Amino acid sequence: MSAQQQAMDLRIKNLEAELQRVKQKAEARGRELLNEKTALLQQNRELLDEKNALLQQNQALRQQPLQAPMNSTPQEMLAPSDLVQRLGMAAAGDKSDIDYFLQPSRAFDTSKTLLKAGRQAARSVSWLASPASDMLFIDVVGARPKASPGSFVTASLAQQAKEHDSAVVLTYFCAQHIEENTYDRMSNVFASFICQVLNAHPFDLTCWRDHRDYPSLICHVQLATERNLQYLCELFKFLLSSVQGKVVYIFIDDLFVLERNAEDESLSSMSKTLQFIMECCVGVKILCMTPDSRRQGYLVSRAESSDILEYSMEDHERGRIPAQHTRRHMGAAPLSAFVSD
């Protein structure tokens, strides 16, 4: 046998040995992969079993009737009286304010003239009686706080609205409480409205107590005590959204006090809250009476739908027609209702 043939035979033998080693290695790796796959399948089965067990437990819990914890106490519930107490509001907007502005004054004749102009119009009657939501702005130009005939009109209309059995009437006379500087003035407004509506209408606050943004009773108590504006706005929206079978009348007198002294952020919160109420709550009627609000204009300019009645005290004194009506966007209640036909 030649040397060349011997070399070829050796090469073939070496290749066969190498092929055998590769085959053995492949078989070993295949067994490892099979074992690994088996282990993963087993782990997958165990996870599926655990998931199914949890689903069964969850389904069983859902079918069980809800029960209060054994250690539950009345103090853990959020009652309307608790919120009223924490907000610490006295009578900002109650009957005493209405009575104050219904008293005869130097502006009494002018006040009655303005009120008469509205009551003679059929539209003012429909504004008070209709369940539709409306927002109205009235500017009494040339009047001064605590002497404004507009305050008399606000008080008179609020008193008239109270005569309806289906009415919840909320009032806030800003100039009457201008010296209350303990809290943000916008917070005072909403705290007053919240206390008034809680006293006027029964509420179950269970859903509000469990609000996801306020996870504990301590959180509710703290934010109410601090009169946190965001908390009060959200609570007010919740309460008005919960009122059923009633028409809610909101009267804000001397609005310019808020526009002149509050920060833009506070005014923005109020504007967004009022707009939410108009869009999402049924049967809410808002009237804002103010001298000079047209010049300040924060809330008026940001109201998506509103009507403005400008009542000029100077024109009234000169015997001219004192009212000019301006409509902004369709769909709002026309303030021409406050001008005699």
Q: Is the pTM of this model over 0.85?
A: no
Q: Residue ranges of the chain with pLDDT lower than 70?
A: 1, 63-76, 89-95, 104-127, 129, 140-149, 179-183, 261-264, 291-298, 300-341
Do residues 316 and 115 make contact, with C-beta atoms less than 8 angstroms apart?
Answer: no
What is the signed CA dihedral for 74, 80, 82, 88, rounded to 10 degrees?
180
Map residue 64 onto helix, strand or coil.
coil
Helices (H), 64-94: 80-87
What are the tens digits of pLDDT across the range 112-165?
655 655 555 555 666 676 777 888 777 766 655 445 667 888 888 888 888 888
Identify the CA nearest to 201 among candidates 237, 162, 242, 231: 242
Map residue 190 onto helix, strand or coil.
helix
Map residue 94 onto helix, strand or coil.
coil
Q: What is the pLDDT of residue 320?
A: 54
Q: What is the pLDDT of residue 99?
A: 79
Extents of the domains making up the chain = 1-66, 74-338
> How many residues comprise the chain?
341
Q: What is the pLDDT of residue 127?
A: 66
Q: What is the pLDDT of residue 232?
A: 94
Identify the CA nearest to 138 among candidates 171, 170, 121, 115: 115
Residue 296 carries which side chain, given as an amino acid letter?
A: Q
Residue 311 carries which side chain, given as an amino acid letter?
A: Y
Answer whether CATH 3.30.413.10 is correct for domain 74-338. Answer: no
Q: What is the pLDDT of residue 339?
A: 36
Q: What is the pLDDT of residue 124?
A: 63
Q: What is the pLDDT of residue 92?
A: 45
Q: What is the pLDDT of residue 271?
A: 86
Q: What is the pLDDT of residue 193?
A: 94
Q: What is the pLDDT of residue 329?
A: 40
Q: What is the pLDDT of residue 79?
A: 86
Report the distance separating Cα 285 and Cα 131, nearest Å.
8
Bridge partners (DSSP) listed for residue 312: 141
